[in-house]
Amino acid sequence: MAEIGTDISKASRLLKKNELVAIPTETVYGLAGNALDPIAIAKIYTTKDRPSFDPLITHVNNIADASTLVDSIPKLAYNLAERFWPGPLTLLLPKRKHVPDMLTSGLEKMAIRVPDHPITLELLKKINFPLAAPSANPFGYISPTTSGHVDRQLGEKIPYILEGGPANIGLESTIVSIEGKVICVHRLGGLDLEKLQTFGEVIVRNTTEAKPNGPGQLDSHYAPKKKFIIGKLDDLLLEHANSKIGILSFSKIYSNSNKNIVLSANGDINEAAENFFSALRTLDNEDIDLILGEYVPQKGIGKAINDRLKRASYF
């Protein structure tokens, strides 16, 4: 398995040798490599078994570093970056010619953000290149929110996992582009739409696509290996009464199941987001036949949780 530690210098040395390192962020753990080197980018795709048409998010230390990778930053995008970076916001911006097409799957725009984690920001200061870092899990599976999750999934394929504690948001970043004066959301995530709306009109194009125009848009994604069904839990429990059932519920406990994980006993939507991937992973490892779940309140970050629930249950 991989070595887990807090040695930023070691992580830096490995990355400079085109090795991959798992890094902590406030959203989920990422599988990081040199975003400007096609060899490192290819390793990311191979290690995750990720299709080459699904572009990667690039992580930088600040707005100034982002400006060296993109042709332009529209004023509205710059205002969003000033307000929400570091943080769970990814901007789609036109890339410069030196940015490898492999990174963006041939698209003219690259996905870029500044992660809000002190260890990873310190790491970015030590290296002279940005980091491509999709979630550190096999493609399509549940995203990792702890170093242990990464180790169990990819530990045999990478040399080092940079320990940064549990992710405190637990959902991937919100991805947006700027079209004129409109903020276009391509993936719901850890940044509430209500906060974006203070900067102007927001439209959601959170569509699922065979060939996406940004990361995280495929139909089946973030999925457990066990069959996962979303609906009204009372009805689902009756329908599957003869099966060994695990339940992923928002705030209510269901005693008539083999295993029930509650995302937030207090009905706190942010706590539910933080616990979501870890809870789904735990249920996937239980001795059960299937997982039953329910949508959470469609407000704030709950919209992003529901998006993940829909994709995780797609089959």
pLDDT digits (tens, 9 = 90+) for 235-280: 999 999 999 999 999 999 998 888 999 999 999 999 999 999 999 9
**CA dihedral for 193, 260, 311, 22, sign (positive or negative):** positive
pLDDT exceeds cutoff 90 at 47:
yes
Of residues 53 and 114, which shows the higher confidence score?
Answer: 114
> Any residues with CB less than 8 A from the CB of 254 and at least 6 apart, and which?
233, 237, 247, 260
Verify that 44 and 147 share a domain, yes or no.
Answer: yes
Q: Is 58 part of any domain?
A: yes
Same domain, 165 and 253: no
End-of-domain residue from the set 169, 189, 218: 169
Look at residue 237 and tell me if it is in a domain.
Answer: yes
Please state the pTM of the whole predicted model.
0.87
* In a shared domain, residues 232 and 158: no
| Residue 23, in any domain of the structure | yes
Rounded Cα distance between 313 and 35, Å, is 31
Is 281 a member of any domain?
yes
Assigned domain for 208 exists? no
| CATH number, position 155 | 3.90.870.10
pLDDT tier for residue 311 given thresholds of 50, 70 and 90: confident
Q: What is the mean pLDDT of the chain?
A: 93
Q: Are 187 and 55 in contact (CB under 8 A)?
A: no
Q: For the segment 184-209, what is each residue's pLDDT rounded down to a tens digit?
A: 999 999 999 999 999 999 999 865 55
Examine the pLDDT at 50 and tell me if it is beyond 90: no
Residue 259 identity? K
- The per-residue pLDDT for range 166-186, each reduced to its tens digit, is 999 999 999 999 999 999 999
CA 278 – CA 177 distance, rounded (Å): 29
Q: Are 43 and 149 part of one and the same domain?
A: yes
**Does residue 161 share a domain with residue 277?**
no
Verify that 115 and 234 share a domain, yes or no.
no
135 found inside a domain = yes
Question: Tokens representing 7?
Answer: 């040695």
User: Where residue 237 sits, what CATH number does that domain have?
Assistant: 3.40.50.11030
Task: Please indicate, yes or no, if residue 191 is contained in any of the structural domains.
Answer: no
Q: Does residue 211 have a pLDDT over 70? A: no
> Does the residue 178 lie in any domain?
no
Strands 3-5 and 30-34: unpaired
Which residue, chain included where needed, has tokens 């990361």? Answer: 215
Final residue before a domain boundary, out of 129, 149, 169: 169
Whether 136 has a pLDDT exceeding 90, the answer reads yes
pLDDT at 280: 93
Looking at 137, 169, 201, the residue that finishes a domain is 169
Whether residues 128 and 237 share a domain: the answer is no
CA torsion sign, 46 to 50 to 52 to 56?
negative
Residues 159, 252, single domain; the answer is no
Identify the pLDDT of residue 205: 86
**Structural domain count of the chain:** 2
- Say if residue 270 is in the same domain as residue 127: no
For residue 169, the one-letter residue type is I
Range of the domain at 293: 227-312
Looking at the structure, tell me whether residues 165 and 236 fall in a common domain: no
> Are both 282 and 138 inside the same structural domain?
no
Same domain for 236 and 163? no
